[in-house]
Structure 1
Amino acid sequence: MTLHISRTRRAVALSAGLATATALALLPGTASAVSTAGGLVRAKAAQTAGPELSYIVNVRPEQGGSDRIQRAIADAGGSVVQAYDRIGVIVAHSADAGFAAAIRKVKGVDSAGATRTAPLPAQSTTDVGTPKNLTAADLKAAGAKAAAGEDPLEPLQWDLKAIKADKAHEKTLGSSKVTVGVIDTGVDDTHPDIAPNFDRAKSVSCITGKPDTTQGAWRPFATGGSPHGTHVAGEIAGAKNGVGITGVAPGVKVAAIKVSTQGGSFFYTEAVVCGFMWAAEHHIDVTNNSYYTDPWYFNCTNDPDQKALVEAITRASRYAESQGTVNVAAAGNENYDLASDSITDPSSPNDSTPGSRVINPRECLDIPTELPGVVTVASTGAKGMKSSFSNYGFGVIDIAAPGGDSTTYQPPQAPATSGLILGPVPGGGWAYMAGTSMATPHVVGVAALLKSEHPHASAWQIKALLALQADRTPCNTPYDIDADGKPDAVCQGPNAYNGFYGAGITDALNAVTQ
């Protein structure tokens, strides 16, 4: 099988799906904490006409909802959509081309910038899919080879055995008091593998930067939607119920936090900030972040717009962690060394006209992946080596987990037939995907098991336990995964912590026996 990587990055293109599913590719608070001051603050007429864009305005937290700042936004030609007072982040819209420059001059504003380079489209929050579930006959046929105690498709999940999740399940499936938030493209909560563990009360759509709890708003869009979030949710908490696959932590709850736009599936800053704030205020224990924040693959802090985006998501993710949430993110699928001095980014901005630029990844950040406190996950294949596509970097990668790879490079042992990761997709089916997107849910599932075992542990303590339970994995030297005689990546660091695997490959059995 030839492995393809699409332009946008987080999941790698797939093999054929199972049953009725067709595998698709995707790469790229509460009222006390969140306010919409007086509804929408109407803007004055724009002085310099331009496309309507969304902006982030970062202010001193104590002034986040002040009338003065919001009046200044209106005076600069903007309208307030949402104010996150506890972190001092305001989401605003404006069609004034000079809005950002004007608002940066206002006393109390730390930074401000456009979250996109394309105009705001009309968005629907009600165009959600109505899934169709698999028939009993389909499930029976798919599970013909399953052993006693296994879900029908579990024999195809080589990744569970790779992290000893099957052995961990003999001890515990995880606690229903633990909730994982899937910050992603939406989750099909009617899927038979997800429905038993789905938490509707903690699910939301954040695509506008303002929480929308309308029934079903958290589901993937029916038009221009994506199976990505459903697949991720199943990998984490697919129920062990005699149906389909089994998740890493099949006894915990999973909530959908939809942050991707309709059509293009862009993950913009205002939505990501909303997602982290929702997680913080709704007692979400772990978040899965298998995306990068569009439109910039890397956000350079010497650019005023990009600097504002980094600051806003940093504030939001740090606030979530301060409330007990462990944030886990995918490292990316370009085989980049994120610890190098120079990377060529050919894809930014990806919502208009991309251009090629050379950046220093130590100064230009992939967010939320490289933010302080976020657990960064690299991907491994069925042979336990770094996946051919996985980004890496000494001091950047915290931990590794199975995310799949080309079967040509890393074939699994029978009865598994694909080197990719099997998971549910909208409509009641299952499909294979690969990427650091698929590695991250394995670490999130283990973090959920750790939280189940240590319910009073802080986010910092769960992160420390994640590193302790990992199986130390040495560098592959040389790393020539395609066997052409040339190294495909260079691993740096000692066996105990290195650029390919960080602290090692996550181990679910260790997590429940510590």
Structure 2
Amino acid sequence: MVRALSISACSVLALAPLAAPQSAAAAPARPASAPMVQRVEQPSTPVAERARHGRLASYVVNLRDSSRSTRLAGHAAVRRSGGRVVAAWPEIGVLVVQSTDARFLGRVRTQRGVESAGATRSVPVRPTPRSARTVTSEGTRGGRERAQWNLAMIRADKAQRVTRGSKSVRVAVVDSGIDPTHPDLRGALDPATSIGCTNGGRPTKGVAAWRATNNLHGTHVAGIVGAARNGKGIVGVAPGVRMSSVKVVDEQGMIYPEYALCGVMSAARSGAKIANHSYFVDPFVFWCDDQPGQRAVKTSLQRAFAWSARRGVVNVAAAGNSGLDLTDKGVDSESPTDARARTRRINAGCTDLPTELRGVLSVSAVDRTRELAPYSNDGLGVVDVTAPGDEILSTVPGGRYAVESGTSMAAPHATGVLALLASRHPKATPAQLTSMLKRQARPLPCPRDSGCRRKGSVTSYYGHGLVDALAAVK
């Protein structure tokens, strides 16, 4: 759910001159780590897989391999089990299926060629609504770069004196859509490679499918990555690169697995160099390996992100806003996000998707004082780097600007720095770009009397440290 990775906007700003926001009050210190004790891992609380006959439900079906014979057998298995394939990803052997037959899941799991299957929602599929019209009035505008303390913190202002990035580098903003008329974004946006994924997980072309409608999140994220330096609005970390809008957030604010699958695969198919994922996958904040249906969804996304990396994409994700140590999870009280949430026990096999997936770069958030934002997740070996995420000014639909906070805002800073790295090193692989980003990051010390842990120069709060745009372009 995209709203969980950004704290609500302070305001949508009127277009009069803007003063820099005041520094936030110092966050209370986190409790110091308790002594290490050996703990027996408990199974996660079972979540019933219920489907009502006659109500349309959505599933992922993972095939045993991606060979042509297995794919043909998989399609036939879906039909025999009472389902209909609505999106197929042959590169990774994953099918997105809808069915009104409550017996579908039990049947398809027994079919030849099927490795696993699971429901992607805890509620029936809603009809895809017609998109609302985006407000595009510009009003009076004025330069706002002075309010962007975040760019100075990561030295992006100095980096842009060297380069603003290359137009041959394209970033996929996998989010809630981008306003294509915003003056700070329209020159960088590439409509030909933009796509919508919220129609049952089917990739859909056309502006109506990928533009921002009732959610400002994606437009805000895009501005942080690559808003143009035009002397009128704000400026992004890498204002010279191109961007695609890959819309995975529906009108209810949900990001179901089939949407995320479509977003990851479509970004990679289109040739994006970096993809920004400032969200977690609904309807579970954590997807558990000891729950067969949840494990099936997790497998499908693992396949998608691994294939994306092989295609040359660096995937960047927000660490999340639950204020948790992701290596020490015990309870989830926020799931399911599309129905009444229930408190459930979780364990080490329960992961936040996509930020905890192998090969995905996880970004925590710091405030103006370079301390971990109180809402930011952390975790030694999970968080890779950190970036500004608190009170970040950026673009929103309607030619306007707003201040937002969250790890959703931190991730696109890292994405922008990676775009600068890719501009300077056009032949570098995803692994090489990620390695350079980590190596160039400026280490931040663990605060005193906190739960921050360290292993060598890497910490649980900040990973390898604060991303550094100037180091990226030298």
Match of 1:49 among 53, 58, 67: 53
Aligned position for 2:204: 212
State the one-letter code of the partner of 2:53. Answer: A
Contact 2:61 2:95 in 1 (8 A): yes
CA distance in 2, matches of 1:237, 1:282: 19
Aligned position for 2:382: 396
Q: Deviations over 1:221-245 (max 9, x none)?
A: 3xxx210000000100000112210
CA distance in 1, matches of 2:112, 2:145: 58
State the one-letter code of the partner of 1:14. Answer: A
Match of 2:128 among 88, 101, 123: 123
Aligned position for 1:250: 239
Contact 1:63 1:88 in 2 (8 A): no
Deviating 4+ runs (over 2 angstroms): 63-68, 128-131
Q: Deviations over 1:453-488 (max 9, x none)?
A: 000101111111110110011111224xxxxxxxxx
Aligned position for 1:332: 320
State the one-letter code of the partner of 2:473. Answer: V
Find out whether 1:177 has 2:168 as its counterpart.
Answer: yes
State the one-letter code of the partner of 2:79. Answer: A
Contact 1:294 1:349 in 2 (8 A): yes
CA distance in 1, matches of 2:282, 2:239: 31
1:344-363 matches, within 5 Å, as 344-360=331-347, 362-363=348-349
Indicate the SS of the match to 1:83.
strand
Aligned position for 1:10: 5
The sequence identity of aligned pairs, in percent, is: 41
User: TM-score scaled to structure 1, two decimals?
Assistant: 0.83
1:90-101 matches, within 5 Å, as 90-101=95-106
Aligned position for 2:40: none
Contact 2:220 2:395 in 1 (8 A): yes
Contact 1:64 1:89 in 2 (8 A): no
CA-based RMSD of the aligned residues comes to 1.7
CA distance in 2, matches of 1:304, 1:173: 47
Match of 1:239 among 222, 228, 248: 228
1:13-412 matches, within 5 Å, as 13-19=8-14, 49-59=53-63, 60-63=65-68, 66-124=71-129, 126-135=130-139, 138-139=140-141, 143=142, 152-207=143-198, 208-221=200-213, 225-262=214-251, 264-340=252-328, 342-360=329-347, 362-404=348-390
Q: Deviations over 1:347-397 (max 9, x none)?
A: 11111121001212x310111110000000000000111111100011110
Indicate the SS of the match to 2:172.
strand
1:415-454 matches, within 5 Å, as 420-454=391-425
Contact 2:135 2:397 in 1 (8 A): yes
CA distance in 2, matches of 1:87, 1:63: 12
Q: Deviations over 1:433-454 (max 9, x none)?
A: 0000000000000000000000
Aligned position for 1:411: none
Indicate the SS of the match to 1:92.
strand
State the one-letter code of the partner of 1:251. Answer: G
CA distance in 2, matches of 1:157, 1:128: 31
CA distance in 1, matches of 2:429, 2:104: 41
State the one-letter code of the partner of 1:512. Answer: V
Contact 2:3 2:253 in 1 (8 A): no
Unmatched tracts of structure 2, length 5 or more: 17-50
Q: Give the superposition deviation at 1:496.
A: 1.3
State the one-letter code of the partner of 1:68. Answer: A
Moved more, 157-166 or 342-351: 342-351
1:493/1:100 CA distance change after superposition, 3 Å = same
Q: Give the superposition deviation at 1:66.
A: 3.2
Q: Give the superposition deviation at 1:108.
A: 1.2
- Between the two structures, name the one with larger relative contact order (CA 8 Å, sep ≥ 6): 2
State the one-letter code of the partner of 1:100. Answer: L
CA distance in 2, matches of 1:449, 1:351: 38
The alignment covers a number of residue pairs equal to 438
Contact 2:225 2:416 in 1 (8 A): yes
Aligned position for 1:484: none
Q: Give the superposition deviation at 1:17.
A: 2.6
CA distance in 2, matches of 1:370, 1:271: 18
State the one-letter code of the partner of 2:242. Answer: K
Aligned position for 2:460: 499
Indicate the SS of the match to 2:320.
coil
State the one-letter code of the partner of 2:203. Answer: P
CA distance in 2, matches of 1:130, 1:350: 26
Contact 2:169 2:422 in 1 (8 A): yes
CA distance in 2, matches of 1:174, 1:507: 14
Contact 1:133 1:192 in 2 (8 A): no
Q: Give the superposition deviation at 1:51.
A: 2.1
Q: Give the superposition deviation at 1:65.
A: 7.0
Q: Give the superposition deviation at 1:64.
A: 7.9
Q: Deviations over 1:65-124 (max 9, x none)?
A: 733321221111101111111100001101111211211111211110110011110103
Q: Deviations over 1:116-165 (max 9, x none)?
A: 011110103x5143332323xx21xxx3xxxxxxxx10110100000000
Aligned position for 1:472: 443
CA distance in 2, matches of 1:429, 1:316: 35
1:282/1:65 CA distance change after superposition, 3 Å = farther
CA distance in 1, matches of 2:222, 2:154: 18
Q: Give the superposition deviation at 1:305.
A: 1.1
Contact 1:475 1:495 in 2 (8 A): no
